[in-house]
Amino acid sequence: MADISKIHTISDLAAFCKRKGFVFPSAEIYGGFSGFFDYGPLGIELKENIKKDWWKTFVQSRQDVIGIDGSAITNPKVLEASGHVAGFNDLLVDCKKCKFRERADHLIEDLLKIPAEHLSAKQIQKLIEKHKIKCPKCKGPLSEPKQYNTMFKTYVGPVEQDSSVAYLRPETAQSIFSNFELIQKSSRAQLPFGIAQIGKAFRNEISPRDFLFRMREFEQMELEFFTHPKKINDCPFYNDIQTSSVNMLSAEMQNKGKNHKAMTIKSAVIKKIIKNRWHAYWLYSQYQWFLNLGINPKNLRIREHKKEELAHYAKACFDLEYKFPFGWKELQGMADRGQFDLSQHGKYSGKEITFFDQAKQEHVVPYVAAEPSQGLDRAFLAFLIDAYTVEKDRVVLKLNPKLAPIKIAIFPLVNKDKLPEVAMKIYNLLKDKYPIFYDTSGSIGRRYRRMDESGTPFCLTIDHDTLKDKAVTVRHRDSMKQKRVKIKDLETYFLKLI
């Protein structure tokens, strides 16, 4: 587990990602495109591995969660019902002289070093006046904060007119809600159960920043967990997790200026910091997922939203926060959305969305006790930052082998003497099981260093002794220890390690 101080700035990481082929600025030959990034050969593999593990953990290996894949352009009525058309707004200020634009809360945060995301237009205006804040570019006067809807608008069909306006979805969640009955009935799911989705989301951010942290096009891994409205505490897994501990920063601790502290889930529930047991369970499960994949517990915490921060749909909300090089910031949001969304879609569509409770013979509107909402790109960033380690004479990405883009590198010591033929045989033996990189160029030391920077956990070297003892040298990325392993044992050897 890495010390994050090793990455000095997020720009250092962006430069590393570009050099190694993890992530590129989108359309760089035309000067890039602010808020958009393209994943390169190593990046796509890492991203896919994160997705696969999340999907396997929270969907495929559970009886009570099913998945969907909804469309990214949504019927605008869905987003009217959800409140996004009227209220998915950020506050922006612009310079009256040079026309520079900035998100108002970011301007306050940058200049006054206080959290400002929850502040109203009036509160921000007061701070601008009190601190005589001017345009950071030209020192010109600033406009009053104005509401700005951050959804991307488009037109469906050939005619650009008001009646053909639609939006790119700002969250994947809404197609889960609008399809709820179809999903529940077709899969015969019974409460409590969850519906998950991984897909693109789009937000026309006023000021994209911090590399992959705030983008205009990004990916979400979301899960809506529906319970009977009277059974939000009936969580059969609660007893197994209640004595586990997490780093917790409650709203009260924030109001008193305190730092987070280790707290058991049980204690957070008894103190009514977490108000329903399903919410407690999902917070713990998502927190633990990050730790299982190698995130240093020192870099992860759960922060309760203060009342004034809550989104229009949330009864309660927590962020899983990660200690990024630019401070503790939201990695994942997890709200208790109650019955808001299904009730709204029921109202707007004129078709009540309910679940039939056989035992009580009554229809109920299911209750979303927890909505784990993870930005895939932010998870990607956190795993990379945590894995990035500078040692005496090397940079090494100590990624969990499950996440590593390339699992094994195969090197014939020299490109002659029948060594490449043997190396190719080993490549063919393993290639259907793991992503493998075959490399013959440069000294072995240089080849190791290149793979360290790519996060490859194992390198195999085929040398002249291989021809006699039918064994290869396996070099482990983190310890740099080397082990001689018989070719015939390689498959079982890696099965245990990866």
Contact residues for ligand GAP (CB under 6 A)? 171, 173, 203, 205, 214-215, 218, 220, 222, 330-333, 373-375, 377-378
* Residue among 371 and 452 whose Cβ is closer to ligand GAP: 371
Tell me the CA distances in angstroms from 431 to 174, 423, 424, 425, 466, one per residue in order: 40, 12, 10, 10, 20
- β-pairing, 458-462 vs 408-412, is parallel
* Residue among 13 and 451 whose Cβ is closer to ligand GAP: 13
Helix, strand, or coil (residue 235): coil
* Residue among 333 and 412 whose Cβ is closer to ligand GAP: 333
Helix, strand, or coil (residue 344): helix
- Residue 12 structure tokens: 């250092």
To ligand GAP, the closest distance from the beta carbon of 219 in angstroms equals: 8
Q: Which helix (H) or strand (E) holds 20?
A: helix 10-20
* Residue among 169 and 477 whose Cβ is closer to ligand GAP: 169
To ligand GAP, the closest distance from the beta carbon of 6 in angstroms equals: 23
- Give backbone dihedrals phi and psi of 38, rounded to 5 degrees, phi first: -115, 135
* Residue among 151 and 410 whose Cβ is closer to ligand GAP: 151
Rounded to whole angstroms, how far apart are CA atoms 293 and 277? 24
Instruction: For the chain, give the longest Cα–Cα distance.
Output: 81
Cα angle for residues 389, 393, 398 (degrees, 5° grid): 25
To ligand GAP, the closest distance from the beta carbon of 319 in angstroms equals: 7
To ligand GAP, the closest distance from the beta carbon of 262 in angstroms equals: 23
To ligand GAP, the closest distance from the beta carbon of 397 in angstroms equals: 21
* Residue among 68 and 498 whose Cβ is closer to ligand GAP: 68
To ligand GAP, the closest distance from the beta carbon of 155 in angstroms equals: 23
- Give backbone dihedrals phi and psi of 404, rounded to 5 degrees, phi first: -55, 130
* Residue among 101 and 394 whose Cβ is closer to ligand GAP: 101
Of 222, 235, 250, the C-alpha closest to 341 is 222
Minimal CB distance to ligand GAP: which residue? 375
* Residue among 222 and 463 whose Cβ is closer to ligand GAP: 222
Rounded to whole angstroms, how far apart are CA atoms 10 and 16? 10
To ligand GAP, the closest distance from the beta carbon of 214 in angstroms equals: 4
Of 192, 194, 197, 153, the C-alpha closest to 173 is 197
To ligand GAP, the closest distance from the beta carbon of 17 in angstroms equals: 15
Rounded to whole angstroms, how far apart are CA atoms 110 and 120? 17
